[in-house]
Chains A and B, each alone.
Chain A
Amino acid sequence: NAGVTQTPKFRVLKTGQSMTLLCAQDMNHEYMYWYRQDPGMGLRLIHYSVGEGTTAKGEVPDGYNVSRLKKQNFLLGLESAAPSQTSVYFCASSYMWTGKAGELFFGEGSRLTVL
């Protein structure tokens, strides 16, 4: 059972380059999320999706775009990478919204370095 899979696991970019992080889940979850984790900052929500074809902004959306064309996939794009986007990115999914019985299932993270 793969759960939540993120690719790539590691990536080094130069300032101004673009890239896409792919998140795939095989649990038929409706909700998917992208978080970034920075030292001393905890996890901050970038964007999220409550179903196929939907996306919404989280706490720190600037500089990122997302798409949810298929229920099982949630893509995070950086159009023009900046050093401030150096971080570890986590994808997560859940059956239902996090408040009730639902819980977040996380991927292993993707470490992105922007030079």
Chain B
Amino acid sequence: AQTVTQSQPEMSVQEAETVTLSCTYDTSESDYYLFWYKQPPSRQMILVIRQEAYKQQNATENRFSVNFQKAAKSFSLKISDSQLGDAAMYFCAYNSGGSNYKLTFGKGTLLTVNP
């Protein structure tokens, strides 16, 4: 079974600085999809960024970027120029593609942004 591990239960960053959240996963598949979701205090989850495993280029969405290391099965999220609104729980998630509708989530990293 696929597993997603987020080894940092909590992280903190100063406003305007850069922070990296770690995620590793275990899979025997060669084609799959990875996601980072954000859950602010309002609780509603929103998608931050996605990465297709067959793409070598790292995904980027404005201040958010990933470092996808397929061989190492690592998928970290970098947040640049951190803002107070970035404070949230961040979840890494995996989907094996094909007809698999299940999204497997990590346990989350709570990010605090200090002014």
* Contact A40–B97 (Cβ < 8 Å): no
A24 to B13 CA separation, bound complex (whole angstroms): 37
Which chain A residues border B46 with CB–CB below 8 Å? Answer: 106
Q: Mark A61-100, 1 if CB is under 8 A from B, else 0.
A: 0000000000000000000000000001010100001111
Identity of the chain B residue whose Cβ is nearest the Cβ of A40 in the assembled complex: B107
Which A-chain residue is minimally distant from B1 (CB atoms)?
A: A59
Residue of A42, A98, A109 touching B106 (CB-CB under 8 A): A42
Q: A58-B102, A98-B101 are in contact. Are A103 and B35 (CB under 8 A)?
A: yes
State A58–B103 Cα separation when bound (angstroms).
Answer: 10
Cβ 8 A contact of B43, one of A42, A59, A92, A109: A109
Q: Is B11 part of the contact surface with A, judged by Cβ < 8 Å?
A: no
B66-107 Cβ-contact flags toward A at 8 Å (1 or 0): 000000000000000000000000010001111111110111
- Contacts of A40 on B, CB cut-off 8 Å? 9, 107
**Those of B41-71 within 8 Å (CB) of chain A:** 42-47, 50
Residues of A within 8 A of B44 (CB): 106-109
Residue total for A at the interface (Cβ-Cβ under 8 A): 26
Partner pick for A103 among B47, B105, B108, CB 8 A cutoff: B47
Nearest residue (CB) in A for B103 is A98
Which of B35, B37, B42, B102 is A45 in contact with, Cβ under 8 Å? B102
B33 touches which one: A41, A43, A58, A98 (CB < 8 A)?
A98
B45 & A99 in contact (Cβ 8 Å cutoff): no
How far does the Cβ of A110 sit from chain B's closest Cβ, in whole Å? 10
Q: Do B103 and A42 touch across chains, with their CB atoms under 8 A apart?
A: no
| A34 within 8 Å of B (CB atoms) | no
Q: Given contact pairs A41-B107, A44-B105, A104-B37, enumerate 6 new A-B contacts (beta carbons under 8 Å).
A: A33-B101, A33-B103, A43-B91, A92-B45, A106-B45, A108-B44
Closest 7 CB pairs of A and B: A99-B97, A106-B45, A42-B105, A42-B107, A43-B105, A103-B47, A99-B95
5 residue pairs bridging A and B, Cβ less than 8 Å apart = A43-B45, A44-B105, A98-B33, A98-B101, A98-B103
